Amino acid sequence: KYLPAYLRYDYIDILIINHDDDYDDAIKLKNHIKQDVTFCEDKKPKVILLRDVITSSEYNHLDYAFEQTLYVFIYVTPRFCSNKVDLFKSHACLKKALESKDDNWAIVPVHACHKNSREYKLPIMLNGLRELNCNGKTFSRDVKNLLEHKSDIIHRRHVEKREQRDAYFKEHPDEILQKRMSNLQALISPAQSICGGENKEREMESRSLSKEQQQLNQLPVFVQQNQLPASVQQNQLPTIVQQNQLPASVQQNQLP
């Protein structure tokens, strides 16, 4: 939380692009990969939807997501194929991958049904890519193979990110200290407000009791001691008694 956005988030192994109306199914796809895929013996892939990257990032554009990811999974459905914006995102991914000078990332169309039963068609440039069927028997194994094929890149990227974070902490000690102090003050302030409110309530209660005691002391001794003679008329009592404003310490049954 003390780092800028480009260092705060880990690299992404798989970025999923989907149509907005397919969001729930895309979440299921993400969970399926995270739960059922293990690569390099004990590693779990970091999977995220493009929509979630944009929501949690200061960089509200595709470039940031592409720079952080290894594989782009395009979740292909009839809705996706009929949406120009979604297709544009896919073409943008493909264009960036073709222009890339290294082999750091790749695009993979992921279909929810077998090729023979599809009622939609991807543009020819995307249709020529190697595809996966998320409901196929070999899907988890296929994803594992993709990740292990680039395991050296995954390791190198995570090492680079860790080194960049360490360098940032060393180069910006004053800025990080200021952020930590601000966060600490934000945590302390509510506690101070609560304690201050409790102290104020106690002070008000103390003042109220003192006032009641003062009112009681102003009463004649024979009233305080429940010795009011019958000859004393009601209008001869202090105003506090006449108006029924006795403090709580004086019981009603102690008066005539």
Could you read off the pLDDT of 77-107 as tens digits, one per residue? 888 888 888 888 787 777 777 666 566 568 8
Residue 143 pLDDT: 95
Query: Does the residue 113 lie in any domain?
Result: yes
- Give the pair of three-digit tokens for residue 162: 């860790």
pLDDT at position 219, please?
Answer: 53
Domain count, the chain: 1
Q: Specify if 217 maps to a domain.
A: no
pTM of the model as a whole: 0.63
pLDDT band at 9 (very low <50, low <70, confident <90, very high): confident
Residue 29: predicted pLDDT: 96
Report the range out of 3-12, 26-35, 175-184 with the highest average pLDDT.
26-35
CATH number of the domain enclosing 54? 3.40.50.10140
Which residue in 82, 88, 80 sits closest to 112, CA to CA?
A: 80
3-class secondary structure, 76: strand
- Cα separation, 202 vs 197, in Å, equals 9
Q: Mean pLDDT, to the nearest integer, of 11-32?
A: 93
**Residue at 103 is within a domain:** yes
pLDDT tens readout for residues 188-204 = 866 555 665 566 666 66
In a domain, 218, yes or no: no
191 domain-assigned = no
Max Cα distance, the chain (Å): 113
Tell whether 49 is covered by a domain.
Answer: yes
Do the domain assignments include residue 17?
yes
- Per-residue pLDDT at 255 exceeds 60: no
Phi, psi of 11 (to 5 degrees): -65, 150
- Supply the pLDDT for residue 238: 52
Cα-Cα-Cα-Cα torsion 61, 67, 69, 75, nearest 10 degrees, comes to 40
Q: Which two tokens stand for residue 106?
A: 């790749």
Query: What range defines the domain where residue 22 resides?
Result: 5-151
Reduced to 3 states (helix: H, G, I; strand: E, B; else coil), residue 75 is strand
Residue 183 lies in a domain: no
Three-class secondary structure of residue 39 per DSSP: strand
